Structure 1
């Protein structure tokens, strides 16, 4: 059977057609179609952040493209009073900071970046833990984005076992996430269960969301981009 022709969309064409500010609300609309109840699906990070609209400290560990996208994603739904950044090399931090709004603090080590932070994002290529549970502020929320292989870690056992753990897909987390598999941490809920109201977000707990990504999210985002390109 012949395969349908592939379409190649260049990055600069995407950026002209769809800015990040446009993508967030459009993704919310797209995710809403997967909900059994009107309006119950929201941008996932809004369901788990233990914060109100303003205030608090954001810490990002890592200084690559994912760090940049998570900065804008989180700042689009919450106005933090302070943003801290750490990476293995100061040069990578300085490169990222040069592309972001002023006022971001580059920290000399991961511990000083994490201590006292309300939201921590790990977006690194680490194979061994770079975030320790003893650094985490009680009631904080951690987005664990890197370490997407069974033998890779970003977060130590104390953090994984001591926090309430959310994942995007439980089966994938138990088979693909080194942070989950090697720590033996128990999964409290999938993100979809929180969004649909079947499980609570427990914003008063110290929480971790271990992200591996879901194929339908890529498909939805791709369709949004394609539809915008087609209409322009």
Structure 2
């Protein structure tokens, strides 16, 4: 009988040490393009399952994905919680499991928070690469959490902005973020101050109500909206959603999970993968919104990359 190797465990520090944006971005572009072709031999990605955890004001999401041609099978387990202000408990916990599609055994269990933070930021950066105006100079980040930091990292690695601004509801968090960013980031007293005149605006908040208003957003700006992943949560107002050309990672995901899309009644013009595949245009000169919800296929290729890098590191003398 086949004695499968026990799964390897690749935890936070190790994931961080092997995962690089320069390797991750091309794999994600490839995955987004494959997803948008809707070929079941390329990507099988059921809609994510959510299990409510009523007692703990949270839910567990399951995100399984199978990439038949690439031989990648994975599932991400992610638990979200609505935490009270001042709570020290984590709002998100994630774990990615990589399986052998042929034998069904688990190859690796890995920390999903680093993967989630990095793949999400990398996909937003891909949206900016495709949709922001040429010569964009000012980046604004609304939010100061883990995602804000990963977005800052990949956006400054891939593009050269002349100015980076950040805002959060909590003044101390803005100050802490500016310090941890190590210079080059300007803290703003209001979301409006951060957003006005910005060429690229990233919203990575835990807000359930709009924090970014269309009247502040300059014509031709690109907005990457990352928070508000529930049908009744929002980060952007109707004015912005209605006036922008809206792109998403997944059309179905946006129509079933994004309050910004559902409640505004905005039309999803295209998926990022459609732009990557050349089947839909990148409307760079118009105001664009990329609504990111996150997809299992993004975790699948990220986990496979981590596993590949980790394995080659382990086998080196």
| TM-score of the pair, normalised by structure 2 | 0.65
Structure 2 distance, partners of 1:112, 1:23, is: 30
2:279 to 194, 198, 208: 198
Matches of residues 1-232 of structure 1 in structure 2 within 5 Å?
6-18=7-19, 22-29=20-27, 31-32=29-30, 43-52=126-135, 56-232=137-313
What SS class does the counterpart of residue 166 from structure 1 fall into?
strand
Preserved contact between residue 241 and residue 266 of structure 2 (Cα < 8 Å): yes
Structure 1 distance, partners of 2:283, 2:157, is: 22
Q: Which runs of 5+ in 2 are unaligned?
A: 38-124
What SS class does the counterpart of residue 286 from structure 2 fall into?
coil
Report the count of equivalent residues.
220
Deviation sequence 1:62-100 (CA, Å, 0-9, x none): 000100111111112210011110001111112222221
Which aligned segments of 4 or more residues in structure 1 are displaced greater than 6 angstroms? none
Preserved contact between residue 115 and residue 137 of structure 1 (Cα < 8 Å): yes
CA shift in 2, pair 1:175/1:26, >3 Å:
closer
How far off its partner does 1:15 sit?
A: 2.0
CA shift in 2, pair 1:202/1:92, >3 Å:
same
How far off its partner does 1:5 sit?
A: 5.7
Preserved contact between residue 204 and residue 227 of structure 2 (Cα < 8 Å): yes
Preserved contact between residue 225 and residue 235 of structure 2 (Cα < 8 Å): yes
Q: Which runs of 5+ in 1 are unaligned?
A: 37-41
How far off its partner does 1:6 sit?
A: 5.0
CA shift in 2, pair 1:29/1:231, >3 Å:
same
Structure 1 distance, partners of 2:243, 2:259, is: 16
Structure 2 distance, partners of 1:184, 1:192, is: 22
Preserved contact between residue 27 and residue 220 of structure 1 (Cα < 8 Å): no
Partner of 2:106: none
Structure 2 distance, partners of 1:144, 1:190, is: 14
What SS class does the counterpart of residue 9 from structure 2 fall into?
coil
Structure 1 distance, partners of 2:128, 2:243, is: 20
Structure 2 distance, partners of 1:199, 1:109, is: 35
How far off its partner does 1:172 sit?
A: 1.0
Task: Out of 9-18 and 131-140, give the one that drifted further.
Answer: 9-18
How far off its partner does 1:204 sit?
A: 0.4
CA shift in 2, pair 1:129/1:5, >3 Å:
farther
CA shift in 2, pair 1:136/1:152, >3 Å:
same
What SS class does the counterpart of residue 98 from structure 1 fall into?
helix
